[in-house]
A = this chain, B = another copy of it.
Amino acid sequence: MRTETEDEELLALAQSFRTTLRHAVYLSRSMDHDGELSTMQLSTLGMAADAPLRVSRIAGNLGIRVPSATEQIIKLEQAGLVSRHQDPTDSRAVLVQLTGKGRAAWEEASRRRNARIAELLGQLDAEDRAAIAAALPVVAKLNRNP
């Protein structure tokens, strides 16, 4: 059973969390112009980097609908970064695969973006960095729950 005080503390934490979520979105947006690839496109490439992936899986992982994913993938295809093939085990499905150019672009953009974030995090002292490091896995949990 939860007490009233605990509920109030939780709400206060939620309030701060909400503000920080907004900050995170700004941060993310400010990172979004490191070159030609948007964050979403970068994520898409990153997913397909390990193995060819279905459109529906990409959409699911990105948290967007299938038509929106199709749109992004078509753009990436037109840029020569991915190729689309029919899934041999299910002709309805389409497998999205990185091209050589796509892999190179992904690695380069990924490297550059990590460097920019590292620079940002490098301005923090060790204690603050530790706080960040401890919180990262927890945020991932939050996304799996709902």
Contacts and interface: CB of A to CB of B under 8 A. Distances in A.
A136 interface: yes
Contact of A143 (B16, B26, B142, B146): B26
Interface of A: 2, 7, 10-11, 13-31, 39, 43, 63, 113-115, 117-118, 120-124, 128-129, 131-136, 138-143, 145-146
B143 A138 contact: no
A20 B140 contact: yes
B25 A28 contact: yes
Contact of A135 (B27, B43, B122, B134): B134
Q: Is the interface of A mostly helix, strand, loop or mixed?
A: helix
Contact of A118 (B11, B31, B39, B133): B11
Contact of A122 (B10, B15, B28): B10
A117 B23 contact: no
Nearest to A25: B28
Given A23-B142, A24-B139, A25-B25, 13 more contacts: A7-B118, A10-B118, A14-B115, A17-B132, A18-B114, A18-B117, A22-B39, A25-B39, A124-B142, A128-B138, A131-B131, A131-B135, A132-B139
